[in-house]
Structure 1
Amino acid sequence: MTTLKRGQRFPFPEVPDWFENLPARFAMPTMGELYTIRIEDYTEDGRYVVRAELPGTSPESIDVFISDGVLTVQAERTEREVDKNHSEIRYGVMSRSVTLPSGADEDDVTADYTNGMLTVSVGLGAEKPSAKHVEIKHGG
């Protein structure tokens, strides 16, 4: 098996693009025409930060919510009614969920949408739950 070295380009550069252009339903099980939002996440200044690409999406059609330690971003991009020659833009509902790290404070969340990028920041100040010892009973 051939292994690529650091900095070496994929031998067939167009292959990753083939997968990128497939609707998300071919990549993972989803409901209907739901597409995956591309994200990046990192920790900065004591906060967990998730950035999501949502170009061409109005802020009113973006929803961010947290439930049971999971952050979910949902958005909908509506199609303009024009006669198109060609389009590679995905329209419809998009969603992405990420599990929050241990210690995330679900009451300390901010979100900002600027230049097509949604940035959600979650405080990490909550006490991390300590490990609990579970007693094992011996049957008999």
Structure 2
Amino acid sequence: MNALARKQRFAFPEMSDWFETLPARFAMPTMSELYTVRIEDYIEDDRYVMRAELPGMSPEDIDVFITDGVLTVQAERTEKDVTKNHSEIRYGAMSRSVSLPAGADEDDVRAEYTNGMLTVSVGLGAKKTEAKHVEIRHGD
């Protein structure tokens, strides 16, 4: 009853919801939000392609690996030891993992880094197996 009375004070009910979430709207992002690698992915020419935005990195600072059908990109930008008046550059480790589509051939992987964009492609030529029928036992 008290919540109903409070909401009736506003001419627009959604305004009270907006004000209640106001502190969260201006909260600082968490570290995981700051250091997430932004990606796009698509299928092209029988290959799964994932592009990751990693500006200002050196290829030596980037690691790409596949484990159990999951493609992971890890990178780390180290901070130079200089006195700064102002910096908006993100430093530290960042990573992103995506599940590979069915039929991905983990032995057919290519990676290229150009102009701040990492492009990883995985062949989709793995043999597709037919459905396997499983015998159902009847328990007594």
| TM bucket, shorter chain | 0.7 to 0.9
Partner of 2:19: none
- The number of aligned residues is 118
TM-score by length of 2: 0.74
> What is the aligned partner in structure 2 of residue 60 from structure 1?
60
- Distance, in Å, in 1 between the alignment partners of 2:67 and 2:121 is 15
Deviation at 1:18, TM superposition (A): 6.2
State which drifts further: 74-83 or 50-59: 74-83
Q: What is the 5 A alignment of 1:1-140? A: 22-25=29-32, 35-140=35-140
> 4+ runs of 1 displaced by more than 6 Å?
none
The residue type equivalent to 1:23 in the other structure is T
Scaled by the length of structure 1, what TM-score is found? 0.74
Report the Cα distance in structure 2 between the residues aligned to 1:55 and 1:114, rounded to whole angstroms.
9
Matched position secondary structure for 2:48: strand
Q: Which has the higher mean CA deviation after the structures are superposed, 126-135 or 43-52?
A: 126-135
Q: Distance in 1 between matches of 2:90 and 2:138?
A: 57
Greater share of helix:
2
Amino acid at match of 2:65: F
Q: Quick one: percent identity of the two aligned structures?
A: 74
Aligned to 1:6: none
Gap runs ≥5 in structure 1: 3-16, 28-33
> What are the ranges of 5 or more consecutive residues in structure 2 without an aligned counterpart?
1-12, 15-24
Alpha carbons of 1:129 and 1:23: their partners in 2 closer, same or farther (altered >3 Å)? farther
| Alpha carbons 1:110, 1:121 under 8 Å: kept | yes
